[in-house]
Amino acid sequence: MSVIRRRSVLPLVRLSWLILLFCLAAASFLPAQTRPDALLEYRNGNYERAVAICRDEITQNPGNLDSHVVICWSLLRLNRFEEAGAYARAGRNLSRYDVRITEILGEISYFEGRNNDALQYFQEYINLAPEGQRIDTVYYFLGEIYIRLGRYRHADIALSTAVHWMPGNAAWWTRLAYARENAGDLAEAVAAYERALALDSQLSDARRGLERARRALPSP
């Protein structure tokens, strides 16, 4: 009797294993439930959504440095500089030499008009990452700060470096030309304005600047 019972149980065991294997195989074809991606939302321009996701991530894990970075990028895009500064300082406490946080602090300082602080952060970024992903933008901001301060030759150097890294940016060429014009380097200013207009003929600032610089050139 026990032999018969044992034999009758074996097919049920095999059937149970087959059902389990089938379920596992079927599950592999079901769409995975993905977690919200703050960086993807940021890249798609959904800055408020990115902020909300990052806040949740930081609440769950205050040591998540990447969440601090992405929320700062998003808040900068939303012009919420004070809020971005709080997260950036928290991120700096997590990683003193993270170049992303350093650059973010430079941008916040720039937009808040704290020129000396911005210079310090941007110089620190250059020292930490002389070929970093944001090096072109860092030199652009440096150029704009030096224009604010009336240090036009310093602005020329910084903006020349910026367009070296991003030669197709017509707006940056215009600002370089403006710095050169104010430094009295009129021929170089004309060349930079012409380069800007070659890249974007609709730039009114470049057209006006070119006319102004040409008029100011000494007569041959």
Cβ atoms of 114 and 104 closer than 8 Å = no
**C-alpha span between 217 and 187 (Å, rounded):** 7
**C-alpha span between 140 and 163 (Å, rounded):** 8
| Of the candidate ranges 31-40, 48-57, 188-197, the one whose mean pLDDT is the lowest | 31-40
Long-range contacts of 77-80 (CB under 8 A, 24+ apart): 77/42, 77/47, 78/47, 78/48, 78/51, 79/111
What is the per-residue pLDDT for 14?
56
Residue 96 — φ and ψ, nearest 5°?
A: -60, -35
What is the per-residue pLDDT for 3?
45
Taking residues 37-63, report their average pLDDT.
Answer: 97
**C-alpha span between 62 and 135 (Å, rounded):** 28
What is the per-residue pLDDT for 218?
86
Residue with tokens 């020329």: 156
Percent of the chain having pLDDT more than 90?
82
What is the per-residue pLDDT for 34?
75
Q: Using 50, 70 and 90 to split pLDDT, how confident is the model at 219?
A: confident
Q: Using 50, 70 and 90 to split pLDDT, how confident is the model at 35?
A: confident
- Taking 80 as the threshold, does the pLDDT of residue 23 lie above it? no
CA nearest neighbour of 93 among 115, 124, 62: 62
DSSP secondary structure letter of residue 31 = P
The pTM score is: 0.83
| Of the candidate ranges 10-19, 51-60, 70-79, 155-164, the one whose mean pLDDT is the lowest | 10-19
Non-local CB neighbours of 33 within 8 Å, separated by 6+ positions:
none
What is the per-residue pLDDT for 32?
44
pLDDT tens-digit map of 85-122: 999 999 999 999 999 999 999 999 999 999 999 999 99
What is the per-residue pLDDT for 116?
98
Taking residues 143-168, report their average pLDDT.
Answer: 98
Q: Which DSSP string do the residues of 48-87 spell out, in sequence order? A: HHHHHHHHHHHHH-TT-HHHHHHHHHHHHHTT-HHHHHHH
Return the higher-pLDDT residue of 21 and 75. 75
Percent of the chain having pLDDT more than 70?
85
Fold of 143-220: 1.25.40
**C-alpha span between 81 and 86 (Å, rounded):** 9
Cβ atoms of 183 and 151 closer than 8 Å = no
State the DSSP H helix or E strand holding residue 115, giving kind and residue range, or none if neither: helix 115-128
